[in-house]
Amino acid sequence: MYTENEIHSIVEAQRTFFRSGKTLDLKWRIAQLKRLKAAVIAHESEFVAALREDLGRSTVEAYLCDVGPIIVEINETLRGLKKWAKPERHFSGLMCFPSTVTTVYKMPYGVSLIISPFNFPMLLTLGMLTASIAGGNTAVIKTSSKSSASTAFLKRFIAEIFPPEYVTLIDGGHDVADLCLAQRFDKIFYTGSPAVGRHVLTEAAKNLTSTALELGGETGNWCIVRKDADLHDAARKIAFFKLCNAGQICINVNQIAVAEEVADAFLKELKAEFTRQIGEDPTHSHEYPKLITDAAYDKCARLAEEYRDRIIFGGDGDRENRRFAPTVIYPVDKKESIVQHELFCPLLPVVPYNDSEINDLLETVADREHPLALYVFTKDMKWAKRVMQTMQYGGGCINEVCIHMMVKGVPFNGTGHSGMGAYHGEWGFREFTHPSTVLRGRTRFNLPLREHPYGGKYEKTKMSLLKKFEK
């Protein structure tokens, strides 16, 4: 257990290290990223073992969802960092003559706090750390107490490769997180629930700390299946995604809205895909992940029991191994409570709607809190593009799920109740730096245009020049 004084000492040691200027050196940052990458590769088997213990992940899923993306993120950062960090030169404009050169420097914030979640404990810790290092910051990391094996491993891992005055990992529960938030950091990045996000933002406001939040959609991410969709393709992709991490993913499909004209055919395809991909008994499959805690399992089981009469697939589980089968609930009205909050489990409510009334459904989605993700399946690209350009959400896919977050060079995060800020690649570098604009003044040929007097015989001349310089 950490005390307030211990955490304060950690933060102040990092502040002293940051002020030494060592992290400003671009070559030094690149060396740290290479060190991190080499360590991830060297400890791959330990990453996988910890994820298996916490979440029941298979080797392939652990690599697909955590280990591999970390390496991809570091590689992208190593390739682009010199370009991203290069100061920008700008022409200052005639209004500033003769001081014609202005430079924008990409400056680190300083001491950063990274609060990571349990569902992707490796990726959402080391991925954020990659961005922090790239930006030239130091980092205090607070990992989740729920993913205890991953936290224990990461604590050893970080201590092995970085000195504590540069990167330190702190374990513990919410009380320890609050001790961290009580400190004055220069940047905070939190990943987790909207409820805790509000608390983080409230604490950050006390020190006016720049904060980024990556939150799950408070009222859930929608997947819309139109009547003209390729039903087999949609079912295959949705089943894959709902099986991944047992639904414990912030961008996962929370509920499906399917056109009632094709609902029966779609549900037949969906059930067949679940069975094909995970087998007849997923609760005892070593490939199927488990829920993070007994409490998470019990919450899922209780909610399933409430809808027992409408479960058309799954609905059973094994509490001892915390595996609950992918469970399709149908039909569900769009006004029911189960589709008005994030589920974060293998339950999948399906809402039928009349395809001719798609605009009413979109109004329902728009009226709720902005989701982190939105997915649509249709052959009507004109409609799909219009929806994606007019709705408010974090990111999404047309005729796909989830892999928008794997695309290099593009931002990822939510808006409103699903987050603020953005990261991945250059966007992560931007999130952990602030642009400082510096004009280089000249001591000769300075015009008296900006100086008093403004009136009398000077007014006409100065007004004429000002209006010309505005062009």
* Omega cis (within 30) before 331: yes
The active-site residue, picked from 180, 250, 397, 402, is: 250
402 is catalytic: no
Joined together, the tokens standing for residue 91 give 């022409």
Buried b (16+ CB within 10 A) or exposed e, 2-25: beeeebbebbebbbebbeeeebee
187-192/210-215 β-pairing: parallel
CB-based contact 202:196 (threshold 8 Å): no
Q: Which residues contact 137 (CB under 8 A, 6 or more apart)?
A: 18, 23, 108, 109, 110, 111, 112, 186, 187, 432
The span from the CA of 456 to the CA of 414, in Å, is 55
Of 242, 321, 342, which is closest to residue 53 (Cα–Cα)?
321
CB atoms within 10 A of CB 286: 10
Alpha carbon distances (Å) from 151 to 53, 192, 409: 11, 16, 29
261 is catalytic: no
The active-site residue, picked from 73, 203, 214, 269, is: 214
The span from the CA of 370 to the CA of 419, in Å, is 9
Joined together, the tokens standing for residue 88 give 């920008």
Residue whose token pair is 């094994």: 318
The span from the CA of 274 to the CA of 326, in Å, is 8
Handedness of CA 70, 76, 79, 83 (dihedral sign): negative
Of 436, 450, 438, which is closest to residue 92 (Cα–Cα)?
438
Joined together, the tokens standing for residue 411 give 């931002």
CB-based contact 215:372 (threshold 8 Å): yes
Helix (H) / strand (E) element for 437: namely strand 433-440
Buried b (16+ CB within 10 A) or exposed e, 180-219: bbebebbbbbbbbbbebbebbeebbeeeebbbbbbbbbbb
Joined together, the tokens standing for residue 273 give 């895909």
The counts of H helices and E strands in the chain are 16, 18
Residues belonging to the active site = 214, 250
